[in-house]
């Protein structure tokens, strides 16, 4: 198959590898400690670890898109902001 139409740069590959590693780590975590540790946070409904991972990934995507649109292509600060956001989601949601 010819994938030359895709922008497979190193950052793009690292992005998808990172998401795959996060999903694998969550699967291992669930295997070791089943149940997902459900809890009710600031959103006022029950969330599991997987729900919080999804919320943090979705929010990080929006942070990066907003950064690209408002600031420019240097995404290191957006990455730092996304990590802070993900930690906040896992702590409070």
| pLDDT for the residue numbered 43 | 86
Kindly list the domain boundaries of the chain, sorted by start residue: 10-92
Mean pLDDT taken over the chain: 88
* pLDDT of 6 over the 80 cut: no
CB 81 within 8 A of CB 62: no
Give me the percent of the chain exceeding a pLDDT of 70.
Answer: 91
The 8-class DSSP code of residue 39 comes to: E
Return d(Cα 91, Cα 80) in angstroms, integer.
17
For 10-41, what is each residue's pLDDT tens digit? 777 788 898 999 999 999 998 998 877 799 99
The 8-class DSSP code of residue 44 comes to: S
């Amino acid at each position: 198959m010819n994938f030359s139409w895709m922008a497979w740069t190193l950052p793009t590959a690292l992005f998808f590898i990172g998401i795959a590693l996060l999903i694998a780590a969550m699967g291992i975590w669930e295997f070791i400690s089943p149940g997902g540790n459900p809890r009710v946070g600031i959103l006022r409904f029950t969330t599991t670890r997987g729900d919080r991972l999804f919320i943090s990934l979705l929010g990080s995507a929006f942070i990066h898109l907003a950064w690209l649109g408002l600031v420019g292509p240097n995404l290191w600060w957006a990455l730092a902001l996304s990590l802070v956001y993900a930690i906040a989601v896992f702590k409070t949601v």
